[in-house]
Amino acid sequence: MKKIDWYIFWKFLSTFFFSVILLTVISTVIDMSEKTDDFVKNNLEAGYVFMNYYLGFIPYIVALLFPLFVFISVIFFTSKMANRSEFIAILASGVSLRRILRPYVVGGAVLGILLWVSNWYIIPKANAIRTSFELKYVKGSNMSPVSRSVYMRVDSFSYAGIRYYDTSSRSGGSFFVEKVINHKVVYNLRADNIAWDTAKKSWKLTGVVERKVDSLKEDVKFYTEQHRKFSFKPTDLQKDEYVQSRLTTPELNRMIELDKLRGSESVKDLMMEKAHRNATPVAVIILTLIGAILACRKIRGGSGAHLAIGIIICAVFILSDRFSTIFSTKGNLDPNIAAWIPNVLFAGVTVYLYRKAPK
């Protein structure tokens, strides 16, 4: 890294963090104005709202708009340098465009790694804070407890089901477990009710009938009450629109494996979330290069023209990402392929722009 590299690198980072602070403040003010009525209705103090909502909302909005922040920052400061004819002087001195792009690659990689680590461990914790607050004070104030039937595969041979499982009380009725080996039921357990025992960290069954079938013999036992441990927990049964965003990546991997075993319909949503966490940091590097190649050329219209072109490119990128996500979650497209389609397309755009750029 030479002096010119450090100059561009620090320009990149300083502009990026200034953009993050500015746009985060604007987003927070807009969100605050929309939710003021909810805060007042629930008699919430400013300190409580900040610690229990905005402490999670700010990391969430930064991660959501992170690639856009990077792209706008690159366009803005690079366009300013181009308007001052700095790149003309650099190129005239014999430095190639590829050499000029080195600090952009380093800066994009640093920010991409930062986003990757945050997506894996930090943002899910922030989402847990934000969504818990929203469910309690914004969306959940008028919501009734969620009751639904649950059917799943417990392990390689066992299947279970609960009728009318209540997520708030962690209880349900008409529970059953069946073990099937070689297309034959060898074990059956039924209970009138099932509830999670917080003290014993196990499931409490009432009105239990347990059957063990061996060839033509059947062993039947009755229990008024029984505590059992199964591979699923209340958190595994509590499905909502926020569940995948709350889980750190190791927790997400565990839920994906469990849902694959159970044959759950939500497994594609979980896999799409994981794929996006890995693909978005790479998109940061790609957008950084596109912004640098576009804005390093001095054109009529200056920064305004560069920003207009950049916004159009960002819009196309977001649309391609949305389309591929829908084709994956609602169709048969593999989530890992769907998450990387925009990156592959815009990597091609990057190569095309680089070849056409003046060197």
d(C-alpha 285, C-alpha 90), whole Å: 23
Span 67-89, mean pLDDT? 88
Span 296-314, mean pLDDT? 75
The encoded tokens of residue 221 equal 């036992």
Span 301-317, mean pLDDT? 77
Span 168-173, mean pLDDT? 84
d(C-alpha 149, C-alpha 143), whole Å: 18
Look up the pTM and report it: 0.79
pLDDT at 109 > cutoff 90: yes
CB within 8 Å of 41: residues ≥ 6 apart: 141
Q: What is the pLDDT of residue 145?
A: 47
Span 68-93, mean pLDDT? 87
What are residue 163's DSSP bridge partners? 173
Per-chain mean pLDDT for the chain: 87
Confidence of residue 305 (pLDDT cuts 50, 70, 90): confident
CA angle 350/16/294 to nearest 5° reads 25
116-152 pLDDT, tens per residue? 999 999 999 999 899 889 888 887 544 444 556 788 8
Span 283-288, mean pLDDT? 94
Q: What is the pLDDT of residue 239?
A: 65
Span 41-48, mean pLDDT? 90
d(C-alpha 184, C-alpha 279), whole Å: 44
Span 305-328, mean pLDDT? 84
177-212 pLDDT, tens per residue? 999 988 888 999 999 999 999 888 899 999 999 999
Give the helix/strand (H/E) hosting 31.
Answer: helix 3-41
Q: What percent of the chain has pLDDT over 90?
A: 45
The encoded tokens of residue 285 equal 């590097």
Span 39-56, mean pLDDT? 92
pLDDT at 238 > cutoff 80: no
115 phi, psi to nearest 5 deg: -70, -40
Q: What is the pLDDT of residue 311?
A: 80
pLDDT at 299 > cutoff 80: no
d(C-alpha 272, C-alpha 265), whole Å: 13
pLDDT higher at 260 or 241: 260
Q: What is the pLDDT of residue 113?
A: 96
Q: What is the pLDDT of residue 359?
A: 62
pLDDT at 253 > cutoff 50: yes
The encoded tokens of residue 232 equal 């699923």
Q: What is the pLDDT of residue 256?
A: 87
Count CB atoms within 10 A of the CB of residue 3: 7
* DSSP secondary structure code for residue 141 in this structure: G
